[in-house]
Structure 1
Amino acid sequence: MKQLLFILTLTFLFSCHNQAQVNPKQQEVINANPIEVPLQDGKARAYFASGCFWCVEAIFESVKGVEESISGYSGGFTENPTYEASNTGKTGHAEAVEIIYDPNIISFSELVDVYFGSQNPTQVNGQGPDHGSQYRSIIFYQNDEQKKIIEDKKAALAIELDATIAAEVYPFQKFWIGEDYHQNYERLHPNQGYIRNVSIPRLNKFKAKFPELLKEDEKH
């Protein structure tokens, strides 16, 4: 009986997690015109979803030219998403990060390289142990130039790996900042189990792969 209940629960969750991506409201988001975020004090902003935002935030903050990485939600059709609501898979949103960076130090193209180089690009609806549409991979573009960069790199990676690349390509609409307790989570909770076993190994793997993109104090 317990096994049957477990299977039914998984079936229900899988259905919920994927419901967001076939919802007509979600299609409106995908078909929308992108919103371009203007420079502020010479800094640009970019938006990525790549599994648990605890992991992604820490990866981008290790990169030279990145001033800050903020955890939150993007890509969905609901207003004011919360962590609990996003986890149902019904809001359309994915856990995402807002990257505030200096375009004179690092380009959007290089940030896309960081994005693809810090994940399993073929994993659908998740990264590592995290599964569901709220953990799906999405790259957000703000103009046609960014869209072309993303699509060219995605196509090249598909040829290189001889595989389908899971990342979705969305026009940027809005980023909702996550709850305070999610911000800088890896740095503030280095001994938490998930951080030790998932986030830090993922970060270290990225650092070993892209030493030339790291801030000086991250090269150790």
Structure 2
Amino acid sequence: MALADSNFLILRLLTLVSLYISCADKAFSIRIPDRASTTPRELSDQSLKTAVFALGSFWRSEAVFGCLNGVVRTTSGYAGGSKINPEYRSLGDHAESVKVEYDPKEINFRQLLEVFWSSHDPRQVFGQGPDVGNQYRSIIFTNGTEEGRLATMSKEREQTRSRSSIVTTQIQQLESFYPAEHDHQKFELKRHPLLLQLIGNLPEEELEMSTMAAKLNGYAAELCPHRIQKQIDAKINGIIRRGWPVLTDV
């Protein structure tokens, strides 16, 4: 969706919310839900797999993976270092990372690797764009020999695409993943309070576990695949037409 169209949608939504606040006539009021069901009930944690990647700022990394079909939860955090209980202002030798919990029946590790490679520059040493430093280095974390084999093969393929520069991505066995502070979870979504309102102003713990919030985090950053971005646009357009902003699924 073009930026102008995106801004137009936001303006229309803001107009609806203003009507809700200012209109005394209940016939014109808009209902904002207290809660929205945002996590697939049929899935259990036992059926999910987990992947962890570092590819620059975890604000953007979480948004990149959150919008993919089959991804159930995303969490910004720290991995790859030795410091116990790292914090944003004191993360030691860890890298900013994202944990991706996914349904292997809908998406697999190979596909996640493709998104990883296409979403950052693995040839930049210790940084991504303007973010420079050890915490922004590129890493694929693995949970076993099969993931290690797939990661190595994918790195070799990536290297063949450029003979003039070296792919700096590291491949490491995952030791520990430390979730980042609440302020860093679903960061892009939190910059759009209206979207938070449309899913019921979830408390922090529910927001961090929410599949819908993960997807809307990618949508807010305009990092969803084009087809998914258009699907969410259509959902929001439907809300605008009905004047009934209850977003129960995306």
TM-score w.r.t. the length of structure 2 is 0.61
Cα deviation for residue 70 of structure 1 reads 0.3
Cα deviation for residue 173 of structure 1 reads 0.5
How far apart in 2 are the matches of 1:80 and 1:99?
20
1:207 pairs with 2:212: no
Cα deviation for residue 41 of structure 1 reads 2.9
Give the 5 Å matches for 1:1-220: 40-86=45-91, 91-162=92-163, 163-190=165-192, 204=222, 207=225, 214=228, 217=231
Taking every aligned residue pair, what percent have the same amino acid on both sides?
A: 33
How far apart in 2 are the matches of 1:160 and 1:219?
35
For 1:186, give the aligned amino acid: E
Cα deviation for residue 120 of structure 1 reads 1.1
| 3-state SS of 2:116 partner | helix
Cα deviation for residue 216 of structure 1 reads 7.2
Cα deviation for residue 219 of structure 1 reads 7.5
For 1:161, give the aligned amino acid: S
How far apart in 2 are the matches of 1:119 and 1:154?
13
Is the Cα contact below 8 Å between 1:44 and 1:102 reproduced in 2? yes
Aligned to 1:14: none
How far apart in 2 are the matches of 1:116 and 1:78?
27
Aligned to 1:36: none
Unaligned runs of 5+ in 1: 1-38, 192-198
How far apart in 2 are the matches of 1:141 and 1:151?
10
For 1:70, give the aligned amino acid: T
How far apart in 2 are the matches of 1:218 and 1:140?
31
Cα deviation for residue 72 of structure 1 reads 0.5
Q: Structure 1 residue runs of 4+, over 6 Å off? A: none
Unaligned runs of 5+ in 2: 1-43, 194-216, 235-250
How far apart in 2 are the matches of 1:51 and 1:178?
14
How far apart in 1 are the matches of 2:74 and 2:229?
14
How far apart in 2 are the matches of 1:219 and 1:107?
26
CA gap of 1:104–1:172, structure 2 versus 1, over 3 A, is same
How far apart in 1 are the matches of 2:52 and 2:122?
17
CA gap of 1:149–1:136, structure 2 versus 1, over 3 A, is same
Q: Aligned residues, how many? A: 167
| 3-state SS of 1:100 partner | strand
User: Which structure has the bigger radius of gyration?
Assistant: 2
Cα deviation for residue 139 of structure 1 reads 0.5
Question: Residues 103-146 of structure 1, C-alpha deviation per residue, up to 9 Å, x if partnerless?
Answer: 11000111011101111121110111101001111100111110
How far apart in 1 are the matches of 2:167 and 2:102?
26
For 2:183, give the aligned amino acid: Y
Question: Residues 57-86 of structure 1, C-alpha deviation per residue, up to 9 Å, x if partnerless?
Answer: 001001110011100100000100000002
Is the Cα contact below 8 Å between 1:92 and 1:134 reproduced in 2? yes
How far apart in 1 are the matches of 2:84 and 2:230?
39
Cα deviation for residue 170 of structure 1 reads 0.6
Aligned to 1:24: none
Is the Cα contact below 8 Å between 1:64 and 1:215 reproduced in 2? no
